[in-house]
Amino acid sequence: MARDGVILATHADALAQAAARLRAGELVAFPTETVYGLGANARDPEAVARIFAAKGRPPSNPVIVHVADPNGAHAIVAEWPQTANTLAHAFWPGPLTLVLPKHPDIPAIVTAGGSTVAVRCPAHPIARELIRLAGVPVAAPSANRSGELSPTTAAHVARSLGDRVGWILDGGSCPGGIESTVVAVTPNGVKLLRPGLILETQLQEIVGDLIVTEPVSNSTKPLPSPGMLTRHYAPRTALEIVEDEAELLFLMNLYHTAGLKVACWQPKGSPVEVATGLYAELHALDAGGFDRIIAILPPNHDDWQAIRDRLTRAASPE
Ligand code: TXA
Ligand code: MG
Protein backbone atom coordinates (compact mmCIF):
# COMPACT_ATOMS: atom_id res chain seq x y z
CA MET A 1 0.00 0.00 0.00
CA ALA A 2 1.18 3.49 -0.81
CA ARG A 3 1.93 5.85 2.07
CA ASP A 4 -0.47 8.61 3.10
CA GLY A 5 -0.51 11.89 1.19
CA VAL A 6 -1.58 13.39 -2.10
CA ILE A 7 -1.64 10.64 -4.70
CA LEU A 8 -1.93 11.31 -8.43
CA ALA A 9 -5.10 9.59 -9.53
CA THR A 10 -3.38 8.62 -12.77
CA HIS A 11 -0.74 6.68 -10.81
CA ALA A 12 -1.01 2.94 -11.50
CA ASP A 13 -3.19 1.21 -8.91
CA ALA A 14 -4.04 4.50 -7.14
CA LEU A 15 -7.77 4.04 -7.67
CA ALA A 16 -7.74 0.36 -6.67
CA GLN A 17 -5.82 1.16 -3.48
CA ALA A 18 -8.09 4.08 -2.66
CA ALA A 19 -11.13 1.83 -3.18
CA ALA A 20 -9.62 -0.75 -0.82
CA ARG A 21 -9.11 1.97 1.81
CA LEU A 22 -12.74 3.03 1.49
CA ARG A 23 -13.88 -0.56 1.94
CA ALA A 24 -11.62 -0.82 5.01
CA GLY A 25 -13.42 2.12 6.65
CA GLU A 26 -10.81 4.81 5.92
CA LEU A 27 -11.33 8.28 4.46
CA VAL A 28 -10.31 9.15 0.91
CA ALA A 29 -10.62 12.61 -0.62
CA PHE A 30 -11.36 12.55 -4.34
CA PRO A 31 -12.21 14.94 -7.18
CA THR A 32 -15.72 15.32 -8.54
CA GLU A 33 -16.94 17.59 -11.33
CA THR A 34 -18.13 20.08 -8.67
CA VAL A 35 -15.64 20.18 -5.76
CA TYR A 36 -13.42 17.61 -3.97
CA GLY A 37 -15.35 15.22 -1.70
CA LEU A 38 -14.23 13.56 1.55
CA GLY A 39 -15.40 9.99 1.06
CA ALA A 40 -16.23 7.11 3.37
CA ASN A 41 -18.18 3.87 3.00
CA ALA A 42 -21.79 5.03 3.50
CA ARG A 43 -22.76 1.61 4.89
CA ASP A 44 -20.19 1.83 7.69
CA PRO A 45 -21.32 4.21 10.48
CA GLU A 46 -17.85 4.32 12.06
CA ALA A 47 -16.29 5.34 8.76
CA VAL A 48 -18.91 8.08 8.33
CA ALA A 49 -18.24 9.24 11.88
CA ARG A 50 -14.62 9.80 10.80
CA ILE A 51 -15.89 12.29 8.18
CA PHE A 52 -17.73 14.30 10.85
CA ALA A 53 -14.66 14.24 13.11
CA ALA A 54 -12.23 15.27 10.35
CA LYS A 55 -14.43 18.16 9.20
CA GLY A 56 -15.64 19.26 12.62
CA ARG A 57 -19.08 18.96 11.05
CA PRO A 58 -22.15 19.39 13.25
CA PRO A 59 -23.88 16.00 13.60
CA SER A 60 -27.14 17.68 12.53
CA ASN A 61 -25.87 18.19 8.98
CA PRO A 62 -26.52 15.13 6.77
CA VAL A 63 -24.10 14.06 4.02
CA ILE A 64 -24.63 13.22 0.36
CA VAL A 65 -24.25 9.58 -0.73
CA HIS A 66 -22.47 9.14 -4.07
CA VAL A 67 -23.24 6.25 -6.39
CA ALA A 68 -21.50 5.03 -9.54
CA ASP A 69 -24.64 4.87 -11.68
CA PRO A 70 -28.37 5.52 -11.39
CA ASN A 71 -28.98 1.89 -10.42
CA GLY A 72 -26.81 2.41 -7.36
CA ALA A 73 -29.31 4.99 -6.11
CA HIS A 74 -32.09 2.41 -5.84
CA ALA A 75 -30.35 0.61 -2.97
CA ILE A 76 -30.02 3.86 -0.99
CA VAL A 77 -33.62 5.00 -1.07
CA ALA A 78 -36.92 3.55 0.12
CA GLU A 79 -38.85 4.99 -2.84
CA TRP A 80 -37.82 5.91 -6.35
CA PRO A 81 -40.71 7.97 -7.69
CA GLN A 82 -41.17 8.73 -11.37
CA THR A 83 -39.97 12.32 -10.82
CA ALA A 84 -36.67 11.05 -9.42
CA ASN A 85 -36.30 8.85 -12.45
CA THR A 86 -37.01 11.74 -14.81
CA LEU A 87 -34.51 14.00 -13.04
CA ALA A 88 -31.83 11.31 -12.89
CA HIS A 89 -32.36 10.60 -16.57
CA ALA A 90 -32.00 14.27 -17.44
CA PHE A 91 -29.05 15.22 -15.22
CA TRP A 92 -27.10 12.11 -14.12
CA PRO A 93 -24.29 11.56 -14.11
CA GLY A 94 -23.91 15.18 -13.04
CA PRO A 95 -24.21 17.89 -10.39
CA LEU A 96 -27.74 17.25 -9.15
CA THR A 97 -28.42 15.78 -5.70
CA LEU A 98 -31.81 14.20 -5.02
CA VAL A 99 -33.25 14.01 -1.49
CA LEU A 100 -35.60 11.05 -1.08
CA PRO A 101 -36.97 8.79 1.67
CA LYS A 102 -34.05 6.76 2.96
CA HIS A 103 -33.61 3.00 2.77
CA PRO A 104 -33.68 1.46 6.27
CA ASP A 105 -30.17 0.00 5.73
CA ILE A 106 -28.55 3.44 5.43
CA PRO A 107 -27.03 4.30 8.83
CA ALA A 108 -28.68 7.15 10.72
CA ILE A 109 -25.40 9.09 10.95
CA VAL A 110 -25.46 9.61 7.15
CA THR A 111 -28.84 11.34 7.28
CA ALA A 112 -28.32 13.09 10.64
CA GLY A 113 -31.07 10.91 12.04
CA GLY A 114 -33.58 12.09 9.44
CA SER A 115 -35.91 10.03 7.28
CA THR A 116 -34.49 11.25 3.96
CA VAL A 117 -31.18 10.66 2.20
CA ALA A 118 -29.38 12.79 -0.37
CA VAL A 119 -28.01 10.86 -3.35
CA ARG A 120 -25.97 11.90 -6.35
CA CYS A 121 -24.23 10.20 -9.25
CA PRO A 122 -21.16 12.33 -10.05
CA ALA A 123 -19.93 12.78 -13.62
CA HIS A 124 -16.20 12.94 -12.88
CA PRO A 125 -14.48 9.82 -14.29
CA ILE A 126 -12.20 9.44 -11.23
CA ALA A 127 -15.14 9.68 -8.81
CA ARG A 128 -17.18 7.18 -10.80
CA GLU A 129 -14.34 4.69 -11.15
CA LEU A 130 -13.47 4.97 -7.46
CA ILE A 131 -17.07 4.29 -6.37
CA ARG A 132 -17.38 1.45 -8.87
CA LEU A 133 -14.16 -0.19 -7.64
CA ALA A 134 -15.10 0.31 -3.98
CA GLY A 135 -18.39 -1.48 -4.66
CA VAL A 136 -20.08 0.52 -1.89
CA PRO A 137 -22.05 3.78 -1.87
CA VAL A 138 -19.72 6.63 -0.83
CA ALA A 139 -20.81 9.27 1.67
CA ALA A 140 -18.95 12.47 0.80
CA PRO A 141 -19.36 16.05 1.88
CA SER A 142 -16.98 18.66 0.45
CA ALA A 143 -13.42 17.95 1.64
CA ASN A 144 -12.92 21.00 3.86
CA ARG A 145 -13.28 21.92 7.52
CA SER A 146 -16.92 22.60 8.25
CA GLY A 147 -18.04 26.08 7.18
CA GLU A 148 -14.93 26.83 5.14
CA LEU A 149 -14.45 27.31 1.40
CA SER A 150 -14.93 24.12 -0.59
CA PRO A 151 -11.77 22.71 -2.22
CA THR A 152 -11.38 22.62 -5.99
CA THR A 153 -7.82 21.25 -6.00
CA ALA A 154 -5.97 18.56 -4.03
CA ALA A 155 -3.80 21.31 -2.53
CA HIS A 156 -6.92 23.04 -1.13
CA VAL A 157 -7.92 19.75 0.54
CA ALA A 158 -4.47 19.29 2.05
CA ARG A 159 -4.47 22.89 3.33
CA SER A 160 -7.90 22.60 4.96
CA LEU A 161 -7.80 19.07 6.35
CA GLY A 162 -4.06 18.48 6.72
CA ASP A 163 -3.34 15.06 8.18
CA ARG A 164 -7.01 14.51 9.05
CA VAL A 165 -7.29 12.71 5.74
CA GLY A 166 -4.77 10.00 4.88
CA TRP A 167 -5.35 9.85 1.16
CA ILE A 168 -6.12 12.61 -1.32
CA LEU A 169 -6.58 11.48 -4.91
CA ASP A 170 -5.26 14.30 -7.10
CA GLY A 171 -7.32 14.71 -10.27
CA GLY A 172 -6.38 18.34 -10.95
CA SER A 173 -8.88 21.21 -10.77
CA CYS A 174 -12.60 20.47 -10.53
CA PRO A 175 -14.23 21.75 -13.74
CA GLY A 176 -17.51 22.88 -12.15
CA GLY A 177 -16.02 24.77 -9.22
CA ILE A 178 -19.12 24.99 -6.98
CA GLU A 179 -21.33 22.34 -5.42
CA SER A 180 -24.24 20.37 -6.83
CA THR A 181 -27.81 21.61 -6.83
CA VAL A 182 -29.76 19.87 -4.03
CA VAL A 183 -33.49 19.20 -4.49
CA ALA A 184 -36.02 17.33 -2.38
CA VAL A 185 -38.30 15.07 -4.40
CA THR A 186 -41.60 15.03 -2.50
CA PRO A 187 -45.13 13.81 -3.29
CA ASN A 188 -46.07 17.49 -3.66
CA GLY A 189 -43.33 18.31 -6.12
CA VAL A 190 -39.68 19.25 -6.29
CA LYS A 191 -38.21 21.70 -3.81
CA LEU A 192 -34.89 23.52 -4.23
CA LEU A 193 -32.76 23.15 -1.09
CA ARG A 194 -29.46 24.49 -2.44
CA PRO A 195 -28.92 26.25 -5.78
CA GLY A 196 -25.93 24.88 -7.67
CA LEU A 197 -24.50 24.06 -11.06
CA ILE A 198 -27.86 22.85 -12.43
CA LEU A 199 -30.03 25.96 -12.77
CA GLU A 200 -33.57 26.30 -11.47
CA THR A 201 -34.72 26.99 -15.06
CA GLN A 202 -33.13 23.71 -16.21
CA LEU A 203 -35.08 21.85 -13.51
CA GLN A 204 -38.30 23.62 -14.47
CA GLU A 205 -37.87 22.50 -18.08
CA ILE A 206 -37.97 18.89 -16.86
CA VAL A 207 -40.41 18.89 -13.92
CA GLY A 208 -42.34 22.16 -14.26
CA ASP A 209 -42.58 24.71 -11.47
CA LEU A 210 -40.76 23.92 -8.24
CA ILE A 211 -42.38 24.16 -4.81
CA VAL A 212 -41.91 27.73 -3.70
CA THR A 213 -40.55 28.11 -0.19
CA GLU A 214 -39.49 31.75 -0.36
CA PRO A 215 -38.74 34.16 -3.20
CA VAL A 216 -35.20 33.06 -3.91
CA SER A 217 -34.50 34.76 -7.24
CA ASN A 218 -35.03 38.31 -5.97
CA SER A 219 -33.46 37.85 -2.59
CA THR A 220 -29.92 37.67 -1.30
CA LYS A 221 -31.15 35.76 1.75
CA PRO A 222 -29.55 32.32 2.00
CA LEU A 223 -31.80 29.38 1.30
CA PRO A 224 -32.95 27.15 4.13
CA SER A 225 -31.22 23.77 4.09
CA PRO A 226 -31.64 21.27 6.88
CA GLY A 227 -28.67 20.97 9.10
CA MET A 228 -26.76 23.78 7.47
CA LEU A 229 -25.44 26.74 9.36
CA THR A 230 -26.11 30.10 7.76
CA ARG A 231 -22.44 30.95 7.61
CA HIS A 232 -20.81 28.60 5.13
CA TYR A 233 -18.42 28.48 2.16
CA ALA A 234 -16.43 31.18 3.95
CA PRO A 235 -12.79 32.16 3.60
CA ARG A 236 -10.94 32.71 6.89
CA THR A 237 -10.54 36.39 5.97
CA ALA A 238 -13.67 38.44 6.72
CA LEU A 239 -15.74 38.73 3.53
CA GLU A 240 -18.28 41.42 2.78
CA ILE A 241 -20.67 41.60 -0.16
CA VAL A 242 -21.84 44.66 -2.08
CA GLU A 243 -24.30 45.02 -4.95
CA ASP A 244 -22.31 47.41 -7.13
CA GLU A 245 -19.09 49.28 -7.75
CA ALA A 246 -20.24 52.46 -6.03
CA GLU A 247 -20.76 50.55 -2.78
CA LEU A 248 -17.39 48.85 -3.27
CA LEU A 249 -15.55 52.18 -3.68
CA PHE A 250 -17.30 53.60 -0.63
CA LEU A 251 -16.17 50.67 1.54
CA MET A 252 -12.66 50.55 0.06
CA ASN A 253 -12.19 54.21 0.93
CA LEU A 254 -13.43 53.66 4.43
CA TYR A 255 -11.13 50.70 5.06
CA HIS A 256 -8.07 52.27 3.44
CA THR A 257 -8.52 55.29 5.67
CA ALA A 258 -8.57 52.94 8.63
CA GLY A 259 -5.32 51.41 7.41
CA LEU A 260 -6.78 48.05 6.46
CA LYS A 261 -5.47 45.91 3.60
CA VAL A 262 -8.46 45.15 1.40
CA ALA A 263 -8.87 42.75 -1.55
CA CYS A 264 -11.80 42.91 -3.92
CA TRP A 265 -13.40 40.17 -5.93
CA GLN A 266 -15.78 40.61 -8.81
CA PRO A 267 -17.41 38.22 -11.27
CA LYS A 268 -15.61 38.17 -14.62
CA GLY A 269 -17.05 36.12 -17.47
CA SER A 270 -20.12 33.89 -17.79
CA PRO A 271 -21.80 32.26 -14.77
CA VAL A 272 -20.17 28.95 -15.72
CA GLU A 273 -16.71 30.52 -15.98
CA VAL A 274 -17.15 32.41 -12.72
CA ALA A 275 -18.30 29.25 -10.89
CA THR A 276 -15.22 27.36 -12.11
CA GLY A 277 -12.84 29.94 -10.65
CA LEU A 278 -14.80 31.22 -7.63
CA TYR A 279 -13.36 29.11 -4.82
CA ALA A 280 -9.84 28.97 -6.31
CA GLU A 281 -9.83 32.80 -6.44
CA LEU A 282 -11.16 33.09 -2.88
CA HIS A 283 -8.63 30.52 -1.64
CA ALA A 284 -5.87 32.63 -3.25
CA LEU A 285 -7.17 35.89 -1.74
CA ASP A 286 -7.48 34.14 1.62
CA ALA A 287 -3.78 33.31 1.50
CA GLY A 288 -2.88 36.89 0.55
CA GLY A 289 -2.74 38.38 4.06
CA PHE A 290 -5.69 40.76 3.62
CA ASP A 291 -7.76 42.15 6.47
CA ARG A 292 -10.92 42.03 4.39
CA ILE A 293 -12.28 40.75 1.11
CA ILE A 294 -15.08 42.71 -0.54
CA ALA A 295 -17.04 40.84 -3.22
CA ILE A 296 -19.36 42.45 -5.75
CA LEU A 297 -22.39 40.20 -6.19
CA PRO A 298 -23.23 39.17 -9.75
CA PRO A 299 -26.60 40.31 -11.21
CA ASN A 300 -29.75 39.15 -9.44
CA HIS A 301 -30.68 36.61 -12.10
CA ASP A 302 -31.35 32.86 -12.16
CA ASP A 303 -28.04 32.15 -13.93
CA TRP A 304 -26.16 33.64 -11.00
CA GLN A 305 -28.35 32.26 -8.17
CA ALA A 306 -25.83 29.71 -6.87
CA ILE A 307 -22.92 32.16 -6.87
CA ARG A 308 -24.99 34.81 -5.08
CA ASP A 309 -26.05 32.14 -2.56
CA ARG A 310 -22.45 31.06 -1.83
CA LEU A 311 -21.15 34.63 -1.47
CA THR A 312 -24.10 35.61 0.71
CA ARG A 313 -23.49 32.68 3.03
CA ALA A 314 -19.74 33.36 3.06
CA ALA A 315 -20.48 36.92 4.18
CA SER A 316 -22.98 35.88 6.83
CA PRO A 317 -21.81 36.85 10.34
CA GLU A 318 -22.78 33.49 11.87
O1 TXA B 1 -21.22 18.95 -5.23
C2 TXA B 1 -21.49 18.48 -4.12
O3 TXA B 1 -22.63 18.31 -3.73
C4 TXA B 1 -20.29 18.09 -3.23
C5 TXA B 1 -19.55 16.93 -3.90
C6 TXA B 1 -18.45 16.37 -3.04
O7 TXA B 1 -20.47 15.94 -4.26
N8 TXA B 1 -20.75 17.72 -1.92
C9 TXA B 1 -21.21 18.64 -1.05
O10 TXA B 1 -21.54 18.09 0.17
O11 TXA B 1 -21.32 19.83 -1.29
P12 TXA B 1 -21.78 18.96 1.47
O13 TXA B 1 -21.92 18.02 2.59
O14 TXA B 1 -20.70 19.96 1.57
O15 TXA B 1 -23.18 19.61 1.20
C16 TXA B 1 -24.32 18.76 1.20
C17 TXA B 1 -25.56 19.57 1.31
C18 TXA B 1 -25.70 20.22 2.66
O19 TXA B 1 -26.29 21.48 2.47
C20 TXA B 1 -26.66 19.28 3.40
O21 TXA B 1 -27.38 19.94 4.41
C22 TXA B 1 -27.55 18.82 2.27
O23 TXA B 1 -26.68 18.68 1.15
N24 TXA B 1 -28.17 17.51 2.56
C25 TXA B 1 -27.56 16.30 2.71
N26 TXA B 1 -28.44 15.35 3.03
C27 TXA B 1 -29.64 15.95 3.08
C28 TXA B 1 -30.97 15.51 3.40
N29 TXA B 1 -31.23 14.25 3.71
N30 TXA B 1 -31.96 16.44 3.37
C31 TXA B 1 -31.70 17.72 3.04
N32 TXA B 1 -30.48 18.22 2.75
C33 TXA B 1 -29.47 17.34 2.79
MG1 MG C 1 -19.65 21.57 2.09
How confident is the model at residue 214, as a pLDDT? 57
**pTM for the full model?**
0.94
Task: Detail the DSSP E strand segments found in 78-200.
Answer: 96-101, 116-120, 138-139, 167-170, 181-186, 189-194
Say if CB 72 and CB 132 are below 8 A apart: no
Give the residue from 111, 93, 313, 315 showing the smallest Cα distance to 227.
111
How confident is the model at residue 177, as a pLDDT? 97
- From ligand 2's centre to the CA of 235, what distance in Å? 13
Atom of ligand 1 at shortest range from CA of 227: 21
Which residues of the chain are modeled with pLDDT < 70? 1-3, 214-229
Say if CB 225 and CB 112 are below 8 A apart: no
How confident is the model at residue 9, as a pLDDT? 79
How confident is the model at residue 232, as a pLDDT? 83
How confident is the model at residue 317, as a pLDDT? 81
CB-ligand 1 contact for 139 (6 Å cutoff): no
246-254, Cβ contacts within 8 angstroms, sequence gap of 24 or more: 248/294, 248/296, 251/294, 252/294
Give residues whose Cβ lies within 5 Å of ion ligand 2.
142
CB-ligand 1 contact for 99 (6 Å cutoff): yes
How confident is the model at residue 219, as a pLDDT? 45
CB-ligand 1 contact for 64 (6 Å cutoff): yes
How confident is the model at residue 4, as a pLDDT? 80
* Smallest-distance ligand from the CA of 196: 1
CB-ligand 1 contact for 146 (6 Å cutoff): no
Return left, alpha or beta for 180; rule: phi > 0 is left, psi -120 to 50 is alpha, else beta: beta
Check residue 167 and report its DSSP letter: E
CB-ligand 1 contact for 179 (6 Å cutoff): yes
Sheet holding 292-296, edge to edge: 238-242, 292-296, 262-265
Pinpoint the alpha helices (H) of 37-124.
45-55, 70-74, 82-91
